[in-house]
Amino acid sequence: MTDLATSLPPGVLLDVHAAGALSLGDVHVAQKVAHLFGEADQSVQLALALAVRALRAGSTCLELADLGREALDTDEDSVGIPADLLPDPVAWRTALAVSPMVTVGADGDGDRPLRLTGGLLYLERYWQEESLVAEQLVRRFAQAPESVAPSALEAARAELLSHDTDVDQATAAVVPVLTGVTVVAGGPGTGKTHTVARLLGMLRRTLPTPPLVALAAPTGKAAVRMQEALAEAAVELPADLAASLETLEATTIHRLLGWVPDSRNRFAHHRGNPLPHDVVVVDEASMVNVTLMARLLEALRPQARLVLVGDPDQLAPVEAGAVLADIVDAQPGADLTEPLAELGLPASGPVVRLRHNYRSVAGIAELAAAVLAGDADRALDLAGAGAGGVRFAPTVEQTDLRERVTAAGVAMVGAAREGRVGDALALLEEHRLLCAHRRGPYGVAVWSRQVEEWIASAMDGFDPTLAWYPGRPLLVTQNSPELGLYNGDTGVVVAQDGALRAFFARGSRTHAVSPFLLEGVQTIHAMTVHKAQGSQFDQVTVVLPTPDSPLLTQELLYTAITRAKTEVTLIGSADALARAVRQRARRASGLRERL
């Protein structure tokens, strides 16, 4: 078969591809679609190819004016777009405006593959998805839910929210009674699950009839963790409310909507067959992409309440869109100051930020705050001071990483050989080595092998080349609901009664599976920051790549730092740390401006 990319005629599409900024797939799509619509202008073909590239990088659209600023370089293998190869902006926009491939403006039938609105160029499907999300959110933020008697609200507040309750948590617990969409935004340790338990209690106490509640999360792992955390938080509630929470079963958003086999985005529940629930709570909402959010919103009953819970500052979804971050930035919805003031709570809208970190030590919380503020000088000062749970070193040799991971690995293998499941799982969660990259000298593959070599040199009989061995730390990489395992679950292989079993923590319980039934798993002596999202460890070591890495962003650094409870060690140059603090992961989207 002829390679379309290598048979391109001279022009801007060929030049940008030759510079390494476009994949063969990007070029092939552009060529095939252009042929179908009779578009010979390579500048228009380039725009389509770049829109496809932007989608792979997590953006819902292409910001034409910002392409020279490397806005799309979010993959470790990506190459920046050479600004000097891009067409003149005015001539480029003119060519797009008259192209048979482009619909111009917000109106139109949407029968063309591209849509140009303002300075944003969309693939038509993602324009439609973003439009649906924007329209649904605007309507739901604006609509007033069924009224609640002030006396009932005051009584519930007095019962469930004591005067020493964190004021942000108290506000977030009340807001869902007053509005159709609530966002509870906060980092690790800010009490999001504690707050969700109380807001569900507030709704149950104040609504005329007990609401039918659904708990959902974007991944199976997050759903399991949500249910476990709510069960722990429920014990602090009155007995009847605790009992009602214990009956709730968290599930994935896909399973809640009724995923249709052999289809990525078709579900049993939709606008014509909505979900029956009165309240839907979505945890880890920062991981929900624009397409899945569109399907969820259109499947909600018109009067259903939606509660989105998550950390808008951490890494965005792997797929296109950063819906939670866009909502938090936009701060949409009605001002709820008056009804909140009557309860002695501060002014707020439907978006409530939980600001106090109750879990991480002060130094980690301060460093995370400096990163989010983009204050590189402050971050370098905190990291360099070596106090408060934060350490910083330019090389591995200047840390105790080898001693730390070797001691933990030897102890974990020993516990696993002796059948001590609880000890092995506890050791797994004590420390985690995190990398930005999957491959290369700063990647997971290299560091996992290095840790195995360190353990092998310190322990007789340890052979990491075996497929299964006691003490092998596991990361599940694909959903296996029939085994009770989900992408992101972590566990340890343990020897028990002469056989090997893979054990996974489930709150205070454990879940055991024969390792020989496992298919999508990998060894996790090290893991990517992306894979660590939603997890917490006592101590974390982060290997920073070189300053020119496209993955070195504020969101990645913040996510890595906030995985640690008591200590975080950063290994890398001062330049790399400063660049990560200053460089935001730029996902192009028009949602923020439409809310």
pLDDT at residue 397 in the model: 80
Q: What is the end-to-end Cα distance of the chain in Å, rounded?
A: 47
Q: What is the DSSP letter of 367?
A: H
pLDDT at residue 1 in the model: 42
How far apart, in whole angstroms, are the C-alpha atoms of residue 176 and residue 193?
15
pLDDT at residue 477 in the model: 84
Nearest Cα neighbor of 569 from 594, 586, 544, 535 is 544
| pTM for the full predicted model | 0.88
Kindly give the confidence (pLDDT) of every residue in the chain, 595 residues in length, as a single tens digit, with 9 standing for 90 and above: 445 555 677 788 888 887 777 888 888 888 889 888 998 888 898 899 899 888 888 889 988 877 754 444 455 556 667 777 888 888 888 999 999 999 998 888 888 999 999 889 999 999 999 999 999 999 999 887 777 788 888 888 888 888 778 899 999 999 999 999 999 999 888 889 999 999 999 999 998 889 999 999 988 878 888 888 888 888 888 999 888 888 898 988 988 998 777 666 678 898 999 999 999 999 999 989 999 999 999 999 999 999 999 999 887 777 787 899 999 999 888 889 988 888 889 999 999 999 888 777 888 889 999 999 999 999 998 888 877 889 898 888 888 888 888 999 999 999 999 999 999 999 988 899 999 888 888 888 889 899 999 998 898 888 888 889 899 999 888 888 788 888 888 899 999 888 999 999 877 788 889 989 988 888 888 888 888 887 888 899 999 998 888 888 899 999 999 999 899 999 999 999 999 999 887 778 889 889 8
The dihedral built from the CA positions of residue 168, 173, 178 and 183, taken in this order, carries a sign that is positive
Q: How far is CA 440 from the centre of its chain?
A: 24
3-class secondary structure per residue, 304-365:
CEEEEEECCCCCCCCCCCCHHHHHHHHCCCCCCHHHHHCCCCCCCCCEEEECCCCCCCHHHH
For 467, counting Cβ atoms within 10 Å of its Cβ (0-12 exposed, 13-18 middle, 19+ buried), the class is exposed
pLDDT at residue 225 in the model: 85
190-200 pLDDT, tens digit per residue, is: 889 999 999 99
How far apart, in whole angstroms, are the C-alpha atoms of residue 335 and residue 127?
29
pLDDT at residue 485 in the model: 85
Do you know the residue count of the chain?
595
3-class secondary structure per residue, 230-241:
HHHHHCCCCHHH
